[in-house]
Amino acid sequence: MSINKLEFNQLNRVLDQHTGIRLSSNKSDIMASRLSSRLRATRCASYNKYYQLIISPDGKHELDIFIDKMTTHETYFFREQAQFEFMYDYFRQKKSRNVPIRAWSAASSTGEEAYSIAMILDDLFYNGNWSVTGTDISPTAVEMAKEACFALSTVQKIPKKYRRAYCLKGTGKNEGTFTVNKAIRHHCNFNVDNLLKLRTVDYSFDIIFLRNVLIYFDETKQKKIVDNIIHRLNHGGLLFLGHSESLRKKRLGIELIQPCIYKKVRL
Ligand SMILES: C[S@@+](CC[C@H](N)C(=O)[O-])C[C@H]1O[C@@H](n2cnc3c(N)ncnc32)[C@H](O)[C@@H]1O
């Protein structure tokens, strides 16, 4: 079914209101194809009917699915591995093993990034006082991150020593999948949160991964997100961006220490 200009604009507005993402007008075919199965599932005869559904009080669940369908969740374990190696070396030298350490995978998608950070932290601070928070706008992705049930075909991305130490192969109805062990999961928590309207928390982080998400926003929103993020980073803490992302303007108190890796310093 094709989508007309009005329908595209209506749905694009809902997407913007809830995620801050606004698609350019040449993306209407992409929107139509991502939503076509939802029109069938919800028996909506047009994109306008689907729009009416997701803005209605009864459409809350479908709105979550809409957000999930319209956001890109590509991720994998130890994506951009050099960054994880850098993080390992940096904290091995710097941190006393008794000081609590908090990491945040902001835009955690289905959890692979957060669990990769967790494996490094457990390796560094075995049994220690560390935690990883993962947040994402997509409730579906957050549920998958909590479940931690991953396709076995993706396990190869995890370095062998971590695979052996932390990964458990599924059996029976979980054949073809793996999970991460309780020692890791116990330190990880996942919540729905919007980078543009973050919930207030009374703590800040030593490590923040904000990777492969800024690219979806215009410059004004990128600035707002980065301001929110830097505000939550401890002095001496590290901010990791995706390899195609950077802090466009120099910022006071933030130093580039490696490509796409920044450190918060005291002024
Ligand atoms: C491509 S994935 C990146 C996952 C992971 N950080 C990585 O680099 O592998 C982008 C994620 O950003 C999330 N996202 C998009 N807009 C968001 C927003 N306003 N607040 C929080 N998360 C958002 C999407 O739901 C998606 O899971």
Nearest 5 degrees, angle CA 256-CA 258-CA 260?
75
Measured from the CB, is residue 10 less than 6 Å from ligand 1?
no
Determine the average pLDDT of the residues in 215-239: 94
Q: How far apart are CA 106 and CA 136, in angstroms?
A: 7
Q: Is 75 annotated as a binding residue?
A: yes
The CATH fold of domain 5-70: Chemotaxis Receptor Methyltransferase Cher; domain 1 (1.10.155)
Distance of CA 178 to the CA centre of its chain: 20
Residue minimizing CA distance to atom 13 of ligand 1: 107
Ranges of each domain in the chain: 5-70, 81-141+184-264
Question: 2-7: which pairs have CB atoms within 8 A and are 24 or more residues apart?
Answer: 2/32, 3/28, 3/29, 3/31, 3/32, 3/47, 4/47, 6/48, 7/46, 7/47, 7/48, 7/51
Measured from the CB, is residue 136 less than 6 Å from ligand 1?
yes
| Residue 33 or residue 92, greater confidence | 33
pLDDT higher than threshold 70 for residue 96: no
Atom of ligand 1 nearest to the CA of 217: 16
Cα Rg, the chain, nearest whole Å: 20
Residue-level pLDDT at 70 = 96
Residue-level pLDDT at 47 = 98
- For 229, the token pair is 């993020």
What amino acid positions are annotated as catalytic residues?
A: 34, 136
CATH classification for the domain delimited by 81-141+184-264, as one of 3.30.565.10, 3.40.50.1100, 3.30.1330.10, 3.40.50.150: 3.40.50.150
